[in-house]
Amino acid sequence: MIRQFVPQEFCMKCKGCCRFKEQDSVWSPCLLDEEIQVLLDRKDIPPASISINRRIQPVSAPCESGFICPFLGVGDNKCAIYSARPFECQLYPFLINLRKGKVLLTVDLNCPYVYERINSPEAKEYIAYLSGYLNSPDCLGKIKDNPQIIQAYEEVREVAEIKLPNEIE
């Protein structure tokens, strides 16, 4: 598990992430190949929750416009798969982004917790930790084997480069 920057208590109150404007949103988490089987093996998760392009498939949001993650509890804002949440969910609000031929660690400043703290020593320390983790041989192998998690997110802030081998870029 990746150490988290945003405290869980903050996330439970925010109601910002896990919600999408479109059903086929770039913001819906992509799954690593091994995560797909783990989720499919769970009896409490319908296979329709995973799209053909390896994404968690958002569902219509009750009492709201737009879509939500099928694992998000609307009433309590809790994740039904939190203990086994996908790699991209563990990373968020940090994202693996492709820009101008480079793979970058970026951050979504729509997260109010990060927006208020992005220039803090705490954030700088966490970015260094996360950059080191993502640039470790094991994690680079995971990213290489799962290029679907490298997305082209817009309106995010670049914070570090991920040094993938040339054949990935």
Are 28 and 78 in the same domain?
Answer: yes
Does a cis peptide bond (omega within 30 degrees of 0) precede residue 58?
A: no
Q: Are residues 123 and 141 in the same domain?
A: yes
Domain membership of residue 132 (yes or no) is yes
Residues 61 and 105 in one domain: no
- Residue 103 belongs to domain spanning: 93-161
Q: Are residues 79 and 101 in the same domain?
A: no
The answer on 113 and 71 residing in a single domain is: no
Within-domain flag for 122: yes
Q: What is the Cα 7 distance to its own chain's centre? A: 15
- Residues 26 and 68 reside in one and the same domain: yes
pLDDT 10s per residue in the chain (169 long)? 899 999 988 988 888 889 999 998 999 999 999 998 888 888 777 767 888 889 999 999 888 889 999 999 888 888 888 888 899 999 999 999 998 889 999 999 999 999 999 999 999 999 999 999 999 999 999 999 999 999 999 999 999 999 887 644 4
pLDDT of residue 166: 62
Residue 5 lies in a domain: no
Residue owning tokens 């409490």: 44
User: Is residue 121 located within the same domain as residue 143?
Assistant: yes
Please tell me whether residues 73 and 132 are part of one structural domain.
no
Beta bridge partners of 94: 107
> Pick from 84, 111, 137: which residue ends a domain?
84
DSSP code for 94? E
| Position 137 in a domain | yes
- Domain count for the chain: 2
Q: Note whether 137 and 74 are same-domain residues.
A: no
Among 67, 84, 101, the domain-final residue is 84
**Judgement on whether residues 120 and 71 belong to the same structural domain of the protein:** no
Cα Rg of the chain (Å, integer): 16
pLDDT tens per residue, range 44-76: 777 678 888 899 999 998 888 899 999 998 888
97, 132: one domain: yes
Compute the distance between CA of residue 105 and CA of residue 142 in angstroms, rounded to an integer. 15
